[in-house]
Chain A
Amino acid sequence: MSTTPLLEVAGLDVDFDGRPAVRELGLTLRRGEVLGLVGESGSGKSATALAVLGLLPGNAAVRGSVRLDGTELLGLPERELTRIRGRRVSMVFQDPLSAFTPVYRLGDQIAEAVRAHQDVSRERAAERAVELLDLVGIPEPALRARSFPHEFSGGMRQRAMIAMAMANDPDLILADEPTTALDVTIQAQVLDVLRTARQATGAALLLVSHDLGVIAGTADRVAVMRDGRVVEQGTVDDVFRRPREPYTRELLAAVPRLDATRRPRPGSGEPVLRVRGLTRTFPVLKGTAFRRRVGTVYAVDGVDLEVRRGETLALVGESGSGKSTTLFELLELARPEGGSIELFGQQPGTLGKAAARALRRRIQIVFQDPMASLDPRMPVGDIVAEPLRTQGAGRAAAGRRVRELLAQVGLDPADAERYPHEFSGGQRQRIGIARALSVEPELLVLDEPVSALDVSVQAGVLELLQRLKDELGLAYLFVSHDLSVVRNIADRVSVMYLGRTVEAGPVDEVFAAPRHPYTQALLSAVPLPDPELERKRTRILLAGDPPSPTRRYEGCRFRGRCPLYAELAEQERKRCAVDVPVFEGDGVACHFPRVRSVV
């Protein structure tokens, strides 16, 4: 074979409305190779990938050269580009819900991709679509090919997306953040499917991601982007082990790692928060004019938590596992539907007005999306002072306190006059923290406080949280789906599956020696930003998606997906099928807990 690289990008510039997004970018990709394109938000990764296929929107101007097998693609007429798109180069996008046309069946959309480039009959294309769906691990592919996009879960949609990308045996697949919208266990499945796709087609892969762990585990070579330029390019081992550029070093240092060695400091004394057997259900309604109840969502179905003074408890679990509902129940300060909540030794819902008001001050929340949670028309000073004023503070006293708080969270006291949109994401999150701290709470509930932020910004906010906790003696209930972040901030961790607590304990112990099979699968799915370690790890892949929380379960609800269950003897299985495993203390809700190291 010739030595021409499959893809060669040189001197690529992309401007959006005259503002530069990509500058003098150069990349090469050989046949069958996986190139990771990594960088922070806005660094120009997506713009680069889209430029390769000429898919940028109309307000973009592109210059430079993109050669596929020596043929220049830039400036090629649309007609010829359509013959390359989907056939020689195909693409997998980030958000799998919006990436399919909502009104056509998935099988038809895949068949359409086949027929766009191959001269086959309708029937043959439909058959091919089913084969492809089978290949990417969709159960009952012939049946599911008739589903519409909204009937698939996020993970299944992304599988279907990959199936479509494989349809014409492309030479190159461009994948723009293909797993970013997915939970870790689903991410592990999809990365596995991507591997299958490459084996089946022999395609090279340009994998765009902001997640260094994903790149480390999948790519052969990596290009690091910053402000539209590639700052460093090399094999994953070189770049991750021996980064040459200071920016790469900073980036790697900022990434929280699952295998960190930080020693947690669990608190002592009476818990500030104690939750036992918490349950919360929602009706499933149907109908428009006359709504009827047709079922029940068991959103929270047995949650146990304990947070002590001065410690951070991380509540982890995948989307839909009931984390947010648990938080809402806590903040409601009412008598729970089932189970018990004890805050600072008191039971909310049994208190008088004054006592309830005092209790409300002691527990405050910081939200995930810093922009959505700050009123854009209010100056920052007023936003921060709001809880204070509701507690009855005077204007002057509140003003003084606001300046103090802004300084405390690392902002300029003069920022009080400015409006939220003038701040970056990380700064906005600091404003949210200052607001929560204004009434001197003792327990801070943090709902995914850093998941909307880039790693370097994330590190700053996490550091701030750690410092504030030490200075003010706070306790945190930290909700997150990102286990690497959890390892680096939490003292203890509590794992939820389908509305139920399945395992809890000091974070170092749980991560080093998880006992519940679900915790093991969860941890094993988290990629490490270390190519060498990644090659040595074996993933525990869970089958399918989490089941519906509208069902009642006999015995253990993880049974259907439990890797251990498959290995158990007949007699033991019976126990899993009949008895509900009970969670207690720093325990594990499994009948046959076996330590298995997975990090």
Chain B
Amino acid sequence: MMWQQEDYTISSVPAYLAKRLGYYAVLLLAAVCLSYLLASLALDPRAYYAGRQPPIPAASVNHHLTEIGVNDHDPLLSRFLHWAGHAVRGDLGQTIDGTSVNAEFGRRLGVSLRLLLAGTVLGTVAGVLAGAWTAVRQYRLSDRAVTVASFALLSTPVFLLAILLKTGAIWFNQSTGTDLIQFTGERSPGLTGGFWTILKDRSVHLLLPTLSVALFAVASYSRYQRNTMLDVLGSDYLRTARAKGLGRRTVLLKHGLRTALIPMSTYFSYGFLALFTGATFTETIFGWHGMGEWFIDSIGKNDVSSVVAVNVFAAVTVLLSGFLADLLHAALDPRIRQAS
């Protein structure tokens, strides 16, 4: 309809982003409240102290639970308000063992980011390139090979892949007679040395976890990117670009891939959530003490505050990646910049 375009006044990009940000803040609030309620209802902190030898007296359990604000004898609302009162001041409470959630959070956040960041960035870039490349080579042998490999990967459970990688590494180490590839923890305990020694040590520890994160990203993004690229390859404007006399590379990259990235920005934010979920297993298998491991541990311990903290982290990550996707979308697509 011809009149629509005229009537959208060109509102500024910052205004658009501010609006999205406000919208995300509301979502975050809702997510946090819900996860608090859910965790409080589903978990039973009292059980953590049951069956100890010697038994802990009920009065002191009660006292401790009240101290850390998760006593189920207090009304849920007042527990929540107590927690929220601290949370708005940036204090996420105490773990069931009485230590500070914030401190634990800080420690584990770094671990998780180190684990996910390299893998995600690597996997995304490689996935986009692989997708675009296979689209250009549609139905050729290379396209089919990548397709089969991605589907095989996508149907492999994360933990299985991680174990396979580990087995492969052990085999590699044995057959080369070295211990080149490390797969437990973030660094070799007790290692001392200069910056380069430490860096090298960390890198060899990062190798397998990064690979397992990246492989999934490559597999799923390459599928999406292949589809969006195929749409673009048949488009009229690529034909126009060729008709102008542009070279094949310019046509495919500058006009083709650039436009085919637009719909991908949405996938990026969904994909991040999947990666985070997958990372829970990756951490456990490779012995990294990150957020995922904490989540599993704290559920096992019926530790309400820690579970909520991990949920806060997950919600912030998802919304942040959603916001980044919005930014990316606005940066990539002039139609969005003006129409909203």
Contacts and interface: CB of A to CB of B under 8 A. Distances in A.
Interface of A: 53, 55, 57, 78-79, 82-87, 90-91, 93, 95, 98-105, 112-113, 116-117, 148, 150-151, 153, 161, 164, 168, 284, 286-289, 294-295, 297, 319-320, 546, 548-550
A281 B334 CA distance: 29
Which secondary structure characterizes the binding site on chain A? loop
Which secondary structure characterizes the binding site on chain B? helix
A82 B245 CA distance: 4
Which size bracket describes the interface of B in this complex? 20 to 34
A99 B237 contact: yes
Contacts of A116: 244-246
Contacts of A103: 258-259, 262, 332-334
Nearest to A174: B243
B262 A85 contact: no
B340 interface: yes
A99 B240 contact: yes
A100 B239 CA distance: 9
Contacts of B234: 57
| Ranked 6 nearest A-B pairs via Cβ | A86-B245, A85-B245, A86-B244, A98-B236, A91-B243, A113-B244
B75 interface: no
A101 B244 contact: no
Contact of A550 (B7, B248, B338): B7
A90 B244 contact: yes
B70 to A, nearest CB: 35
A101 B335 contact: no
Contacts of B202: none
Interface string B203-237: 00000000000000000000000000000001111
Which of B6, B234, B245, B259 counts the most chain A CB atoms within 10 A?
B245
Contacts of B23: 289
B239 A113 contact: no
A98 B239 CA distance: 10
9 contacts: A82-B245, A98-B236, A98-B237, A101-B240, A101-B255, A116-B246, A294-B7, A319-B2, A320-B2
A150 B237 contact: no
Contacts of B236: 93, 95, 98-99
Contact of B237 (A102, A105, A284): A102
B8 interface: yes
B242 interface: yes
A102 B23 CA distance: 28
Nearest to A148: B334
B237 A100 contact: yes
A9 B4 CA distance: 45
B191 to A, nearest CB: 49
Contact of B2 (A90, A112, A113, A153): A153
Contacts of B335: 102, 148, 150
A101 B238 CA distance: 7
Nearest to A547: B6
A150 B5 contact: yes
Contact of B244 (A85, A151, A288): A85
Given A85-B245, A99-B237, A284 B7 contact: yes
B154 interface: no
Contacts of B5: 150-151
B225 to A, nearest CB: 16
Contacts of B241: 101
Contact of A85 (B3, B243, B255, B259): B243
Contacts of A93: 236, 239-240, 243
Contact of B340 (A53, A78, A161, A288): A288
Contacts of A95: 236
Nearest to B335: A150
A442 to B, nearest CB: 32
A91 B246 CA distance: 13
B297 to A, nearest CB: 38
Given A98-B236, A284-B7, A112 B246 contact: yes
Interface in B282-340: 332-335, 338, 340
B1 interface: yes
B259 A101 contact: yes
B7 A295 contact: yes
B106 interface: no
A14 to B, nearest CB: 16
Given A100-B237, A112-B244, A550-B3, 4 more contacts: A82-B246, A98-B236, A99-B239, A284-B7
A203 to B, nearest CB: 14
A284 B7 CA distance: 8
B55 interface: no
Contacts of B6: 548, 550
A407 to B, nearest CB: 40
B193 interface: no
Contacts of B235: 98
B247 interface: yes
B196 to A, nearest CB: 43
Nearest to A152: B5
A549 B247 CA distance: 43
Contacts of B9: 294
Contacts of B255: 101, 104
A548 B237 contact: no
Contacts of B247: 79, 82
A286 to B, nearest CB: 7
A104 B241 CA distance: 12
Contacts of A85: 242-245
Nearest to B333: A103
Contacts of A151: 5, 338
A79 B258 CA distance: 23
